[in-house]
Structure 1
Amino acid sequence: MKRRDFLKVTAAAAAFPVIAAPAVHAQQKRFAGITLRCNGYGGTYDKALIDGVAKPLEEKTGLKVEYFAASVPGEVAKLISNKGNPHLDLFMVDNNLMPELIGADVLDPIKVSDVPNVKRVLPGYREFEDYGVPISVSSMVPMYNSNTITPPLTGYVDIGRTDLKGKIAIPGTSIAASALVLLAFAEAKGGSVHNMEPAFKFLKEVKDNIVATPNSTVAQLQMFSQGEAQAGIFWDGRGHELRTSGIPMQTVVPKEGIYAVSTYVNLVKGGRNREAALAYVEQALSDEGQLALPKIFRFGATTDVPLGELKPEILLNSPERVAMKRKVDWAALMKQRGELSERMNKVLRG
């Protein structure tokens, strides 16, 4: 080969990797071309998950995730009725509805061998053996306006104080967490999930204090914002939202323990790509995924992720606080939800 021809071949060979590099890079993304479907909660919540879970996952693996905001109970009914032909690959749901989904056999288990980050989930946070993984936790706790209420509240049953007549708002029966509030009252007064009578006795005693039982989180938020209620039982993340808007609603670490709701992400049985779905779960439990919701809402994380500067503003922010989270028998509680709602309404209207 002549020297001139050799130089031409060498130059072409040197240029080839530059041209081919993007194609090679694309081939290294193992889930390129795959899109998973997941229900969403809408608005800022979904955006936080997109930024902390979906986008980083797509950058690393090529996997795309589509979120569909919809009513969770409606999506539960759809999954059960379409068993074997699911419209979703991943499903987010609070722990109160997990027993129904497990009983309907529409979820696939997730083992530590499938998702190594499951080992990082905090003690007591994973409540349903190998089904689902908790990705965030919201606490339903007492709070009060420090400008108008003294002394501070210290626990759930403090809403019965005589100085709080006409000042209390608690979730209405259309909100699933109202059953959790009743359980907090029952256990504080010596009852249990199998003996809720103390809760209704307590409600009857304090009903003059309860100015309203809003049937939406937004409605209760507005009541506190506008001063129609000065204390009550509400979500810890919403307390942070009120404080940042200038309303001095103080969140209480209740002496009885913390009653909380965890959001789980699940693999739907029959979903289109199990390996891709497992990669999503792994990312949701990574430090980046775990901090996505706390950064916006100050919800609690469910792993040992360092909270950094967010720590003072998150209720479940230490091993001691985590140990205060009460264990709930969700199957037993939700089985009687209809009866609990009916009795709650009857007591408060009687």
Structure 2
Amino acid sequence: MRHLTRRNALLGAAGLPLLARGAAAQPAGRVVVGTWGGDYARLLRKNVEEPFLVSKGFEVVQDQAGDAPRRAKMVAERRLPRGTVDIQGLSAANIYEMGEAGVAEPIDYGRLKNAANLIPAMRYQFGVGHIYSGKVVLFNPKLVEAPRGFRDCLDPKHGSKIGIIDIQYQFVMVAAALAAGGSVSNIEPGKALLLEAKKAGARVYPTNEAFAQAMKTEEIGLGLMWKARGVQWQNADIPVQLVAPVEGIPMYVSGFSIQRNAPNKAGAYAYMDAMLERQAQEAFAVDMGFNPTVTNAVVAPDLQARIGFTEAERARLVDLDYAYLAKENSAMKEWWDKVFKG
């Protein structure tokens, strides 16, 4: 296991943040944002776009789709002088992948006035971290005993009480690998564990929302999910409790990249600055249960206790191997679709 190499930054240390040169006021214009739909799109509209962009005269258009088709579109448009999207919402793993593919713009942090407050670990060459959490085990104590981690969660004894989310195949495979003695750089050991769970009756749900509904109706009793989502579902009275897995807690960072041939790069930088505003970050912590990526955000102690991680849990945070995931993603998806789901 490759433990989080930037852990000190995530513990709240500001490190030595780069000082933004101070961006001039951005002209209003049309900004096209590639994003997932559902709650995230709604909260981007509520907490970022309307208060910090629309109010200043920007027209913000959301291009909602899963990350796979949006990434495919970025690659397909690479030879066009102007793409159709300015800024794309992606996981940190996919930010790396799009940078390697040559379709994402290197970030000029001097153009972001809020860069001085950004946690150093959330500065990527081809993107900026918006929010972060970690993969934990969710369970219903009425239906199953409290698991200790990923291996307990995927134990075939739970049969059809196990829920697995299709769109999170990368992170499910990483979690299974950690449970089976593999690592973030070697997912092979986890495949047998997943196949055993599937053979025992584990159910696969297409989306996070479908998984949540199954937990609510008690169709399933446990599964893998971001801690932030678990907190959000607790707030919605879905009967789940959360366990930080003993095998390690894979990090999840959701951020944004600027398309290299974006029609409105100035607008894309304005969008990034808006998402890093203290009030927007604090609102996402309240509304979605994700941790802020800026050091000046203030989260109430009771909320921080629910969405954050204890000192012992932070020691188990695991940074993903983004280069490995980018290299293996196609093979992982093929195995997932043809072998695991097939």
**How does the TM-score come out when normalised to structure 1?**
0.77
Equivalent residue letter for 2:253: S
Q: Give 1:299's aligned residue.
A: 290
Deviations 1:236-277 (A, max 9, x none): 343234323433211111222222332221222233443443
The partner residue of 1:336 within 328, 332, 339 is 328
Equivalent residue letter for 1:97: N
Alignment of 1:1-350 (within 5 A): 30-58=25-53, 61-83=56-78, 84-126=81-123, 128=124, 130-150=125-145, 152-161=146-155, 164-172=158-166, 175=167, 177-207=168-198, 209-304=200-295, 305-308=297-300, 309-314=302-307, 316=308, 321-322=313-314, 324-343=316-335
Supply the distance in 2 between the matched residues of 1:284 and 1:320 (Cα, whole angstroms): 30
Shift of 1:287: 0.9
Equivalent residue letter for 1:118: A
C-alpha spacing 1:124/1:226, structure 2 compared with 1 (3 Å): same
Shift of 1:121: 3.1
Larger Rg: 1
224-233 vs 68-77, which deviates more?
68-77
Supply the distance in 2 between the matched residues of 1:320 and 1:82 (Cα, whole angstroms): 45
Supply the distance in 2 between the matched residues of 1:306 and 1:232 (Cα, whole angstroms): 30
Equivalent residue letter for 1:235: W
Shift of 1:219: 2.6
Q: Residue 143 of structure 1 aligns to a residue in which SS?
A: strand
Supply the distance in 2 between the matched residues of 1:97 and 1:135 (Cα, whole angstroms): 14
**How does the TM-score come out when normalised to structure 2?**
0.79
Q: Is the 8 A contact 2:154 2:162 kept in 1?
A: no
Q: Give 2:13's aligned residue.
A: none
Q: Work out the number of aligned pairs and report it.
A: 315
Equivalent residue letter for 2:32: R
Q: Is the 8 A contact 2:138 2:223 kept in 1?
A: yes
Q: CA RMSD in A?
A: 3.0
Equivalent residue letter for 1:154: R
Q: Which runs of 5+ in 2 are unaligned?
A: 1-23
52-61 vs 276-285, which deviates more?
52-61
Equivalent residue letter for 1:330: Y
Q: Which runs of 5+ in 1 are unaligned?
A: 1-28
Supply the distance in 2 between the matched residues of 1:90 and 1:297 (Cα, whole angstroms): 21
Equivalent residue letter for 1:306: V
Supply the distance in 1 between the matched residues of 2:211 and 2:235 (Cα, whole angstroms): 16
Deviations 1:323-344 (A, max 9, x none): 5431111232243334334545
Q: Is the 8 A contact 2:54 2:60 kept in 1?
A: no
